[in-house]
Amino acid sequence: MKHIAILGSTGSIGRSTLSVVESYPERFQVVSLAAGRNVRVAFEQARRWKPRLLSISTEVDAEILRSHLQTAGMKGIEVVHGPAGTVRVATHPEVDFVVSAIVGVAGLEATYEAVKAGKTVGLANKECLVAAGELITAEARRQGNPLLPIDSEHNAVHQCLRGGRMEEVECIWLTASGGPFLYTPKSQFSAITVEQALNHPTWKMGQRITIDSATLMNKGFEVIEACRLFNLPPSRIKVVVHPQSTIHSMVEFVDGSILAQFSVTDMRLPILYALTYPERVPSTMRFSVMDLRHLEFLPPDMEKFPCLGLAYEAAEAGGEKTVALNAADEVAVAAFLQGRIEFEGIPTIIREVLSATKVDKLESISQVLRVDSEARMIAGERVEQMGSVGTRPLSTAMRVE
């Protein structure tokens, strides 16, 4: 029986994790949950899963939850709140495995504390590796505990890496769908609208990650994540465009053999893999090999997608640079979604923020949060300077998620 904590239980990965737990009641028990702002869902989860400990964003929400749980006759669920509450959820003494799925830098501290407390951590939060990866992976190595990736690409890499030892890895191949502008000539990039950028050919996702997929910055973040997770230099993490997104990623070994992983596109599969590693547990999630049909592969166009190159530069420099990369991208993408800058303004802003950032080594999560804030401020200033482009109808300016 594995005892689970979920950081971000009301989000998409959190709910998928609970769905996995539901399918294997004999294997998993939910000990603690850190919910976001959805009190209703948090209450339902508390009722269904009876955790020992439940954390929610604000004190007010915690009060509401407590009173509702009392009314419902639910006893023995301690309700806490805020960042300190999330840390308590992550480090609960009965917990073996922590699913880190809080979006943004908010999940950093609790994840770091979970690793420090000797928990095995399944990572579904990009910032844990992009911003604080050097700290968190160093601590995990010190503890001798694995960090298990919960996203299809790095989970695929983790599986393929089982085909040899780390010293035997030549490189990692991350596959990229290529996004909606794979076949759009660069000359048309200045006219890209928000609607076009949000129209991803393969996936329905949140707005920021959809834009990050359109600029290939999402793949850039994954390059950085792979560097940290698998302790390899950026030069050994390669990207290949694979529009069908069937093969989730590949590992090339020094002898010339390449292993590739694929499966249905269902987040419950990498979650199950992480939760049960090193075992594999039967599931009903089946991909038919006969459905492979046509697969295509092509090199990424670094001219059209400068964000990918910026991510490689930040990965190479390390330290504060990748914190700034993530922060600047978040601000730039928000500005694009609001119609304040053009699509091509995204890499421009990120490049400027990176230039203004030092390469200082990261020593603590508080330093990460400080660099993150500073980078956001610089990025915000650059957005102001760039000004509203005003070339697109207002309808294309969308609310940031």
Residue 136: other Cβ atoms inside 10 A: 27
Binding residues for a copy of itself, total number by CB under 8 A: 48
Peptide bond into 83 cis (omega under 30): no
- As given in the structure block, the two tokens for residue 174 are 């991350």
Which among 42-50, 110-118, 131-139, 158-166 is the span making contact with a copy of itself, rule CB under 8 A? 158-166
Among candidate residues 201, 204, 277, the one with its CA nearest the CA of residue 244: 201
Q: Which of 16, 218, 245, 261 is in the footprint of a copy of itself by CB under 8 A?
A: 261
The helix (H) or strand (E) run that includes residue 261 is strand 258-262
Tell me: does residue 292 bind a copy of itself (CB under 8 A): yes
Residue 233: other Cβ atoms inside 10 A: 10
Smallest distance, a copy of itself to C-beta of residue 22, A: 16
First to last CA, the chain: 37
Give the contact letters, 172-201, x = binds to a copy of itself (CB under 8 A), - = no. Answer: -x----------------------------
Please tell me what DSSP assigns to residue 401. -
Tell me: does residue 293 bind a copy of itself (CB under 8 A): yes
Nearer of residues 162 and 361 to a copy of itself, judged by Cβ: 162
* Count, residues in the chain: 401
The helix (H) or strand (E) run that includes residue 41 is helix 39-49
**Contact status, residue 30 vs residue 49, Cβ threshold 8 Å:** yes
Please tell me what DSSP assigns to residue 361. P
Tell me: does residue 264 bind a copy of itself (CB under 8 A): yes
CA distance 400 to 345: 17
Q: Which of 164, 367, 388, 389 is in the footprint of a copy of itself by CB under 8 A?
A: 164
Tell me: does residue 295 bind a copy of itself (CB under 8 A): yes
In three-state secondary structure terms, 195 is helix
Q: Is 144 left (phi over 0), alpha (psi -120 to 50) or beta?
A: left
Give the contact letters, 201-240, x = binds to a copy of itself (CB under 8 A), - = no. Answer: -------------------------------------x-x
Q: Which of 253, 301, 338, 356 is in the footprint of a copy of itself by CB under 8 A?
A: 253
Q: C-alpha distances in angstroms, 198 versus 30, 177, 201, 327, 340? A: 36, 14, 9, 20, 16
Burial of 347 (0-12, 13-18, 19+ CB in 10 A): buried
Tell me: does residue 250 bind a copy of itself (CB under 8 A): yes
Tell me: does residue 283 bind a copy of itself (CB under 8 A): yes
Tell me: does residue 282 bind a copy of itself (CB under 8 A): yes
Q: Which of 224, 269, 337, 375 is in the footprint of a copy of itself by CB under 8 A?
A: 269
Q: Which of 263, 322, 326, 357 is in the footprint of a copy of itself by CB under 8 A?
A: 263
**Contact status, residue 55 vs residue 88, Cβ threshold 8 Å:** yes
Q: Which of 60, 72, 298, 359 is in the footprint of a copy of itself by CB under 8 A?
A: 298
Nearer of residues 15 and 238 to a copy of itself, judged by Cβ: 238
Tell me: does residue 97 bind a copy of itself (CB under 8 A): no
Q: Which of 159, 207, 215, 326 is in the footprint of a copy of itself by CB under 8 A?
A: 159
List contacts with a copy of itself (CB under 8 A): 159-160, 162-165, 168, 173, 238, 240, 247, 250, 252-264, 269, 272-273, 276, 279-287, 289-290, 292-299
